[in-house]
Amino acid sequence: MPSSTQAVSAPVTPIELERFLPYRLSVLTNTVSRSLARVYQSQFGLSIPEWRVLAVLARFAPLSAGDVAARAAMDKVQVSRAVSRLLKRNLLIRATDGSDRRRSQLQLADHGWQIYAEIVPQMQRYQQDLEGALTDEEAVALDKLLTKLQCHADGAA
Q: What is the mean pLDDT of the chain?
A: 93
Q: Please indicate, yes or no, if residue 4 is contained in any of the structural domains.
A: no
pLDDT at 147: 96
Given a cut of 90, is residue 20 above it in pLDDT? yes
Given a cut of 60, is residue 109 above it in pLDDT? yes
Q: Which amino acid is at 76?
A: K
Band of residue 103 on the pLDDT scale cut at 50, 70, 90: confident
Q: Please indicate, yes or no, if residue 44 is contained in any of the structural domains.
A: yes
Given a cut of 80, is residue 11 above it in pLDDT? yes
Residue 37, by phi and psi: left (phi above 0), alpha (psi -120 to 50) or beta? alpha
pLDDT at 2: 56
pLDDT at 19: 95
Band of residue 44 on the pLDDT scale cut at 50, 70, 90: very high
Mean pLDDT value of segment 26-31:
95
Mean pLDDT value of segment 125-152:
96
* 127-137 confidence digits (pLDDT tens): 999 999 999 99
Q: Please indicate, yes or no, if residue 37 is contained in any of the structural domains.
A: yes
Band of residue 1 on the pLDDT scale cut at 50, 70, 90: low
pLDDT at 9: 80
Q: Please indicate, yes or no, if residue 131 is contained in any of the structural domains.
A: yes
* 46-98 confidence digits (pLDDT tens): 999 999 999 999 999 999 999 999 999 999 999 999 999 999 999 999 998 77
Q: Please indicate, yes or no, if residue 62 is contained in any of the structural domains.
A: yes
Q: Please indicate, yes or no, if residue 61 is contained in any of the structural domains.
A: yes
Range of the domain at 42: 18-156
Given a cut of 60, is residue 113 above it in pLDDT? yes
Q: Please indicate, yes or no, if residue 142 is contained in any of the structural domains.
A: yes
Q: Please indicate, yes or no, if residue 73 is contained in any of the structural domains.
A: yes
Number of domain units in the chain = 1
CATH code of the domain containing 68: 1.10.10.10
